[in-house]
């Protein structure tokens, strides 16, 4: 697993508990020591540095990539290293931000991506390789496990496009969807991860600010509405996945702790 942050570390713990031997990466020596202390097989890997990637780290069947870097040169080096390794299956955790704002629902296979998106271009680096089979998983905005949407706009920030629908997914479903992909062996696919509901920002963030007990941020009354609604039908059909948190308006305080 490349990446041990908000999602990566608990995902590694989840997969370890299911019996999968996991190698976990970090860019920090201090965090590597912490991960080892916690019982993880931890490696130092930083694709932003122009250096060889530890071959032992890539000695595995499956690689899950869950990092925030958009360094295309680094990802090109990574693809080359993977092609020389034993890895045959790859899961790239991406974002639904790759889709254009078309003011309608967008799906995985209709070509609705923004071709100029750096993240979309990185996705293609993996999909174009014939050395391994890649599944692209595009999560919408992440909430839960300490990420409370009521606190997203603190410090004088304004909420743009308040009448646009939101696209979010809870941490529990992020883990659940990845588990389903690995368990079922679903490779060579593009999948969206998003909740069922898409309330307007104005409604949702007002409720969430009240839930968090913080002042509501100001709304920027934009003239032109620009949005997308991310479809989640494919994970239901291809993975037969049932969302644990379908309705964003039904989440309460404990779901964000």
Average pLDDT over every residue of 136-158: 91
Distance of alpha carbon 135 from alpha carbon 124, whole angstroms: 11
Q: What per-residue confidence (pLDDT) applies to 155? A: 67
Q: What are 37's strand-pairing partners?
A: none
**Summary mean pLDDT of the chain:** 96
First to last CA, the chain: 24
pLDDT for 249 beyond 80:
yes
44 sits in which H/E element: strand 41-44
pLDDT for 257 beyond 80:
no
On whether residue 133 sits in a domain, the answer given is: yes
| 255: confidence class by pLDDT, cuts 50, 70, 90 | confident
The 10s digit of each residue's pLDDT in 186-228 is 999 999 999 999 999 999 999 999 999 999 889 998 779 999 9
| 157: confidence class by pLDDT, cuts 50, 70, 90 | confident
Q: Which residue has the tokens 């696919």?
A: 189
Q: What per-residue confidence (pLDDT) applies to 154? A: 78
On whether residue 18 sits in a domain, the answer given is: yes
What is the span of the domain harbouring residue 116? Answer: 8-145+169-195+228-256
Angle, CA 32 vertex, CA 31 and CA 34 arms, to 5°? 60
The CATH number that applies at residue 96 is 3.40.50.720
The 10s digit of each residue's pLDDT in 59-77 is 999 999 999 999 999 999 9
Q: How many domains does the chain have?
A: 1
On whether residue 84 sits in a domain, the answer given is: yes
């Amino acid at each position: 697993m490349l990446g041990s942050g908000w999602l990566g570390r608990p995902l590694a713990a989840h997969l370890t508990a299911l019996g999968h031997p996991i190698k976990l990466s970090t860019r920090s020596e201090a965090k590597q020591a912490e991960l080892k202390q916690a019982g993880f097989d931890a490696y130092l890997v930083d694709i932003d540095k122009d250096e060889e990637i530890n071959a032992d780290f890539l000695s595995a069947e499956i690689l899950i990539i869950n990092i925030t870097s958009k360094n295309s040169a680094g990802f090109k080096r990574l693809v080359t290293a993977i092609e020389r390794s034993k890895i045959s299956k790859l899961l790239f955790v991406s974002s639904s931000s790759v889709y254009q704002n078309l003011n309608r629902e967008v799906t995985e296979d209709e070509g609705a991506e923004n071709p100029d998106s750096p993240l979309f271009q990185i996705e293609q680096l993996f999909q174009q390789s014939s050395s391994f089979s890649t599944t692209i998983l595009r999560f919408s905005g992440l909430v839960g496990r300490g990420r409370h949407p009521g606190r997203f706009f603190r410090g004088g920030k304004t909420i743009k496009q308040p009448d646009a629908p939101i696209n979010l997914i809870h941490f529990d479903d992020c883990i659940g969807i990845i588990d389903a992909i690995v368990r079922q062996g679903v490779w060579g696919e593009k999948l969206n991860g998003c909740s069922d509901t898409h309330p307007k920002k104005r409604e949702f963030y007002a409720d969430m600010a009240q839930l968090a007990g913080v002042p509501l941020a100001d709304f920027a009354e934009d003239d032109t509405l620009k949005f997308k609604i991310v479809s989640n039908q494919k994970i239901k059909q291809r993975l037969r996945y049932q969302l644990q948190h379908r309705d964003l308006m039904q989440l309460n305080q404990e779901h964000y702790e």
